[in-house]
Amino acid sequence: MYENEKEKLLAELVQQGIKDEKVLDAIRNVPRELFVPEILRHQAYKNVALPIGKGQTISQPLTVAIMTEALKVEKGMKILEVGTGSGYQAAILDYLGAKVYTIERDFDLFKEARKRFQELGLKIATLCGDGTIGWNEFSPYDGIIVTAAAPDVPKPLKDQLSVGGRLVIPVGSKTTQIMHILTKTGENEFEVEKIPAFQFVPLIGLEGWKNEL
Ligand code: SAM
């Protein structure tokens, strides 16, 4: 199903600069239509973010592809995701052979994503809580991906990354961010690459934005 739409999307991702065949293959094979509300399924292979309820979104496929490519996932890597949302990004990482740990602060979205993982037979570790403080119990991680906008890079996430690991996170204001790709080169040393410009929902928590609701 959705074969034509999928091929069009993949061609668009290649045209936008995505080169990693493994990432393209994951996007081809993980059924995005199962991670969006039923009434939006016909839009699942459009290169757009879509609402998933609770004022949150499943990220645009190009953004998922850029972040996943930046993480340089290899089979068996331990990856932490902050911001489970629909669970789609976590499923992409799982498809690439990573052992995925994912944290969501919203209890309803957390429950829905956990149910989806069960139905799809995905062995993804889930936690409902504040991902800005990471998930220390299983650290260090070979990669950390944050799928919400942070005012700065949370220190606990830097600490929970293994040396040689990569941390991919949008940093900036609540309205626009620059993707930061940190590589941990020593105990407290990082190299940083930056890609403009993205628009994520805010990362809310102790080391993120304050909850103003
Ligand atoms: N990765 C998701 C997907 O594949 O559908 C999209 C994530 S959505 C853009 C951002 C998510 O981050 C929202 O579900 C939001 O509730 C969550 N979030 C915001 N602050 C958080 C925090 N401190 N810890 C965990 N999740 C957080």
Q: What pLDDT does 212 receive?
A: 66
Residue written as tokens 């936690």?
Answer: 127
Instruction: Output phi, psi for 211, to 5 deg.
Output: -75, 115
How many whole angstroms from 213 Cα to the centroid of ligand 1? 16
**Whose CA is closest to atom 19 on ligand 1?**
203
For the cut 60, the answer to whether the pLDDT of residue 60 exceeds it is yes
- How far does Cα 198 stand from its chain's mean position? 13
Q: Which residues line ligand 1 (CB under 6 A)?
A: 56-59, 82-83, 85-86, 88-89, 103-106, 109, 130-132, 147-148, 200-201, 203-205, 208
Q: What pLDDT does 3 receive?
A: 93
The residue extents of the domains of the chain are 3-198
Q: Is 139 a catalytic residue?
A: no
**pTM, whole model, 2 decimals?**
0.98
Reported confidence tier of residue 213, pLDDT bands at 50, 70, 90: low
Q: Could you tell me if 185 and 168 are in contact, meaning their C-beta atoms sit under 8 angstroms apart?
A: no
Catalytic residue among 59, 86, 139, 162: 59
Pocket test for ligand 1, best of 56, 63, 109, 155 (most atoms within 8 A of CB): 56
Q: What pLDDT does 119 receive?
A: 98
Closest among 182, 179, 149, 166 to 77, alpha carbons compared: 166
For the cut 90, the answer to whether the pLDDT of residue 1 exceeds it is no
**Distance, CA of 209 to CA of 62 (rounded, Å):** 25
127 pairs with which residues across the strands? 103
For the cut 80, the answer to whether the pLDDT of residue 123 exceeds it is yes
What residue type is assigned to position 85 of the chain? G
How many whole angstroms from 94 Cα to the centroid of ligand 1? 17
* C-alpha torsion angle, residues 115, 118, 122, 125 (rounded to 10): 60
The yes or no reply on domain 3-198 and CATH 3.40.50.150 is yes
Q: What is the pLDDT of residues 176-206, one digit of tens each?
A: 999 999 999 999 999 999 999 999 999 999 9
